[in-house]
Amino acid sequence: MTGPSNIDKFRRRIPFTIDGQPFSTDDLSQRASALLRLAGLDPAIFDLGELKGKDHPQTRRFKDDEIVSIEKDARFVSIRQKAPVA
C-alpha cells in the first residue's frame, strides 16, 4: 500500500513562530537545534528560546540537544550566544 496511512489523514499541522516568522509542523517534539535550522539559523551561533505569557513574557532557553514540545501558536525566538562588545 502506498500513500499516507489513515492515521496521517487525521494529523494536524500546528502553527508556531520563530522570530515572528510563521512555521507549522505535525512533529510536536523536536530538538531545539532542528527548529533553529528550520528558521535558517546556525545552532552554533544561536540558542532557541520560547516566550510564555502575553503582558510580560518570560523566556525559556533551550540547549541545542534539548527536546522542545511545540504547542499551537507557540512563540520561539533566537538568542545570540555571544556578541562582540563595543
How do residues 40-53 score in pLDDT, each as one tens digit?
Answer: 999 999 999 999 98
pLDDT value at residue 55: 83
The closest of 56, 55, 68 to 18, measured between CA atoms, is 68
pLDDT value at residue 7: 53
Run of H or E including 36: helix 32-38
CA distance 32 to 7: 26
pLDDT value at residue 6: 53
Q: Where are the domains of the chain?
A: 14-80
Residue 50 DSSP label: E
pLDDT band of residue 26 (cuts 50, 70, 90) is: very high
Q: Does domain 14-80 have CATH number 3.10.20?
A: yes
This prediction has a pTM of 0.80
